[in-house]
Structure 1
Amino acid sequence: MAAVLAVALVVTPSAWAVELDAGDWYVTRTGVQDAWGQGVTGKGIKVAVMDTQVVLDYPAIAGKHVESKLVLKDGATWCMDRKKELRMDVSDSGLRAGDRGLYVTHGTMMASYIVGDGSGYDGGRGLVGVAQDAQVTAYPIGFGVSWLGGDVPLCKVGGELDFATVLRAAVADGNRIVNMSFESEDRPELVEAMVDAWRAGVVVVAGSGNDTEDSGPRDYVGEPVKTNRFPGVLSVNGADESGNANRRDGGVTLLAPAEATNGYAGGDEREVEVDSGGSSSASAITSGMLALVMGKWPDATGNQVLQSVVRNTQGNTSGEPVFDQDLRAGFGVIDLPRLLATDPARYPDVNPLLEAAVTNSERHEETRGMYTDRSDWGDHLIGTVDSFDLDGSTPIDVTREASLVGEEYERQKSAWAKVEQCRKDGGADCMQYSATRTGQAASSSSSPSSDNGQSAAPKSDVAGDGASGADASSSSGSVWLWATLGAGVAAMAALIVVACLVVRRRRRLQAAVAPVSSAVASMPANVSGGGRW
């Protein structure tokens, strides 16, 4: 660590005066502090934090725009964990310092990396946020616990938490950024909720996970049943100050500060310490930086901000997205000064991560047709492509609804073509034809959230067989394992393992038959966070 980091600095403006130290390098060495000095603080930008419960009176966020909003299925007003030991209520879903012996939680830290003012317990240091004046709404998707990584208790009694329902509520509430510092596999409704977020112009940021070994696909193709690898999600891995990551992962799209940053060792701790923050803190820090960018360039759409992010990473002067072929850095290390200096409105209103996943998937025999072809699916709801990870042992699960991903990319691409034609013709307000401006009409769920913050149930726009208009030949060569589900089986709970059969395309050799799970847990099985969280 450079000696200069050991020198205490003072946050500006003075309203947030707190001494910064080596563990705050994500503020002092990335252009964040300079942005504050220019009056760029994320004011007016709403950020959703989907995570564990937040300690609302944690000193660093107690005086900030932070609230907690519990969103349950079917209008439920309370829930408990399976053991009936923990309870959350819609009327009071946050925690207070000392509740169940907790002073911080994983969700508390993520909110603090976005808006925290650095205040800590007993007059000591706390966590400093990147976007001091942003507004954070915490949407708990799990109970606060003392451990800051691993499985967390979920709502199972009284009311249930459902990822799609919570995400729809966050979108309906006007959040421009949704931070998800966890990894999870979800039910098929994940696809519709994510696609609706794209149609609303919302940017979703997720932690890539914290495997210490090389992992993930061998190219960026997305994984449509995983929240942190879903095509279009900004999947962030942690890096040190030199921009180095600790592993290869084809699902990573960006690197951001995480190593040697301030954090807490456990939920019962009251003092910060410097350690590895993992992809959790990297994603939250990224969300804060994006809030600064959106505050600086309020007319840019979420897609245009993402275009700027992938085109203006550290060391990339080409003006185009450049993906790391070694699979360590995605599109590179986030470069806040360049993002603040570059108006994103110059770029297409097309999600570049969505575009990359769809186009890359069509280049590989194993993944071709993931998002574009359903012509021979019949009654099957879930398929599995040939193994496509770095060691060739893990396949990618694909749901029938994944065709919506390809359709959304085509919609965005077509909409931008209309914008460009309008500009060529000398038209006025050509952005009225953009994907973001026309997205609401295309959304599968346009109903506002209900009184308890729950979005109305979506109306499915998934067609029957052949839902995608793509040529069936585009997926020739892909081998799928099918989970065969009848109507009665499909309605059953998650984690049911069913028999499957192999469908061959164009006389390819039959693959090994193996059971495929009909659905998977609807809440995070693993909260991302290296080392401590």
Structure 2
Amino acid sequence: MMMSGWVSRGSAVVVSALAVTVVAAGVGVANTEDGYWYFDNYDVASFHEQGIDGSGVKIAVIDSVIDPDAPFLADANVTVHEPSFCVPQQEGGESVPAAISGGDVDDHGTNVTGFLVGNGDQGPKGIAPGAEITFYSWGDFAEDKCGSNPSEYRLDVGASLKAALDADADIVTISVGGGELLSTGEFADQLARAMRENVIITAGVPNDDLDVGVGFMTGNGVVGVGSVGEDGQTPSREAFDGAEDLVTVHNTNEWLDVVAPGVGLTLGGGASWEAPELGNGTSFATPITAGNVALALQANPEATPNQVLQLLIHNTGVDAPHEPVFDPTGEVGYGVVDTISLLGDDATKYDDVNPFILDGDDQSPTVEEIFGETAATADPEPSGEASSEASPSPAAPTAEPTTEPAPTDSGNTNTVVWIALGVLVALAIIIVAVVVASRRRAEN
């Protein structure tokens, strides 16, 4: 399965989940309990016990469809926006629902949500179970709705992001890709709005460098997320290239900013969620990153979202805090998201600057489109280009101070002047009276 790009595929808008590899649990297969290493190795439960569980943070999930009755979503605070943003082309056509329960359904969106707020019952354990989730659907990919049938349905990606921003989301996490609509119209406007309003967006990158196209992660200011295994290695696999030669491909991408656990994770599966399985994918590393950011937002209530993003890149790996260093190979970006390091530092000491917003005409949206003017300082390179050290991107430009006086009301000004003159006259009279009285006393 490939993620589509910001480029045209004829008249079609191609939508798919990021590539996912799944291995069903069973005899001879690693127990799915081992698939909670992302939760156990980073002591996530200990932070939950301290009350750091994402409470008070609003997260918008944009994905396929969701089964809100999945056992691992029981008691989670999940609201489903209905209907989906896969809308019929013909008037009177049937809308695609966002929530689908029972039977064999597209489980991608359900599992993605599980890595945020799941309870671990036959599926993922969530990084931020106290967060408030609103789910926005792009359609049922298993039924190929809003996939390769543009004559029947169209995908309104701009409206999905607008809905999330209108609902005051703090974080938007996206593990699906799209086609030409991603780079045009309302979506581009809403992405600029998100950056302007300091909404944090995490988006998955393709699972290997043979995947065709790009997607949300190319947006200026968006955090592009790759995956890493328990051994700290980025995944690789053998595949055929265009010449049908067998090659080894890696989870590399020029737009990759950070990596997070995404290999050997427990997923919910089966017609009734009775068959959990192990799976891989940047699709799951992305909500894990979003969940960690939610914990950091809660743990740093005095910090801005931009400072939390700075906290993220200063606290990758175990040797933290550190100065951000970008990996030029495109495999790990600024490093591995580490819950323990992230929550062990103070975000308020960092600059209020989104490090992922870069200046340049090749950025979309541009700094001018986001803030309305050119930034005073900027990194000329996109976050994914080779660079040995990170350079902070510009924050919202500060307006030039005006030299013109603020307008005043002439009537009020005249009144003040007359009062002041009256006070001066009264003081003069008092002074004269005092002087005269003093002279009389001296004569007597």
TM-score range, shorter chain: 0.5 to 0.7
TM-score (norm 1): 0.56
Equivalent pairs, count: 335
What CA distance in whole angstroms lies between the structure 1 residues aligned with 2:272 and 2:376?
46
For the aligned residue pairs, the C-alpha RMSD in angstroms reads: 3.5
Matches of 1:436 and 1:57, distance apart in 2? 46
Using the TM superposition, give the Cα deviation of residue 320 of structure 1 relative to its aligned residue in structure 2, in angstroms.
2.2
1:250 to 254, 265, 289: 254
Contact 1:54 1:144 in 2 (8 A): no
Cα distance change on mapping 1:411 and 1:298 into 2, 3 Å? farther
| Distance of 1:65 and 1:140 partners within structure 2 | 17
Q: Helix, strand or coil for the counterpart of 2:127?
A: coil
Match of 2:224 among 227, 235, 242: 235
Check conservation: 2:375, 2:397, Cα contact below 8 A: no
Shift of 1:245: 1.0
Percent of residue pairs bearing the same amino acid type: 28
For 1:282, the equivalent position in structure 2 comes to 285
The aligned amino acid for 2:156 is D
Q: In structure 1, how many angstroms separate the alpha carbons of the residues matched to 2:203 and 2:41? A: 23
Output one character per residue of 1:235-280: Cα deviation in whole Å (capped at 9) or x when no partner: 111100122113232210001001111114677763111232x100
Which residue identity lines up with residue 108 of structure 2 in the other structure? H
CA distance in 1, matches of 2:376, 2:324: 18
Q: Does 1:263 align with 2:267?
A: yes
Match of 1:28 in 2: 40
- Superposed, 1:442-521 pairs within 5 Å as none
State the partner residue of 2:433.
Answer: none
From 69, 88, 110, give the equivalent of 2:81. Answer: 69
Q: 1:94 aligns with which of 99, 107, 110?
A: 99
Between the aligned partners of 1:271 and 1:299, the Cα distance in structure 2 is 43
What's the CA shift string for 1:346-378, capped at 9, x where partnerless? Answer: 2122110113xx3xx6xxxxxxx424xxxxxxx
C-alpha contact (below 8 Å) 2:300/2:347 kept by paired residues: yes
- Change in CA separation of 1:307 and 1:229 when aligned onto 2, cut-off 3 Å: same
CA-to-aligned-CA distance 1:497-520 (integer Å, 9 cap, x gap): xxxxxxxxxxxxxxxxxxxxxxxx
The one-letter code sitting in structure 2 at the alignment partner of 1:238 is: S
1:118-133 superposed matches below 5 A: 118-119=120-121, 125-133=122-130
Deviations along 1:439-474, one digit per CA (max 9) or x if unpaired, are xxxxxxxxxxxxxxxxxxxxxxxxxxxxxxxxxxxx
Contact 1:182 1:209 in 2 (8 A): no
Residue aligned with 1:55, SS: coil
Aligned mate of 2:168, from 151, 164, 174:
174
Shift of 1:80: 3.8
- In structure 2, the residue matched to 1:347 is 350
**Conserved 8 A contact 2:321-2:341:** no
Return the offset for 1:436.
11
Give yes or no for contact 1:231–1:405 (8 Å, CA) kept in 2. Answer: no
Show the counterpart of 1:483. Answer: none
Alpha carbons of structure 1 residues 41 and 317: separation in structure 2 relative to 1, 3 Å: closer
Measure how far apart 1:21 and its partner are.
2.1
Question: In the alignment, what sits opposite 2:333?
Answer: 330
Does 2:191 match 1:194?
Answer: yes
Other-structure match for 1:110: 112
Question: 2:194 and 2:204 mapped to 1: Cα distance?
Answer: 18
* Cα gap change, 1:321 to 1:154, in 2 (>3 Å): farther
Structure 1: distance between partners of 2:398 and 2:142: 41
Gaps of 5+ in 2: 1-30, 236-249, 379-394, 400-444
- Unaligned 5+ segments in structure 1 are 1-18, 120-124, 217-222, 362-368, 372-397, 415-433, 439-533
Deviations 1:367-426 (A, max 9, x none): xx424xxxxxxxxxxxxxxxxxxxxxxxxxx7xx64645756955969xxxxxxxxxxxx
Q: Give the Cα separation in 2 of the matches to 1:134 and 1:289.
A: 11
TM-score (norm 2): 0.67
Over 3 Å counting, the alpha-carbon distance change for 1:333 and 1:344 in structure 2 is: same
Does residue 163 of the first structure (1) align with residue 157 of the second (2)? yes
Q: Distance in 2 between matches of 1:210 and 1:81?
A: 32
Provide closer, same or farther for how the CA distance between residues 208 and 266 of structure 1 changes in structure 2, counting only shifts above 3 A. Answer: farther
Q: 2:154 & 2:59 partners in 1: Cα distance?
A: 23
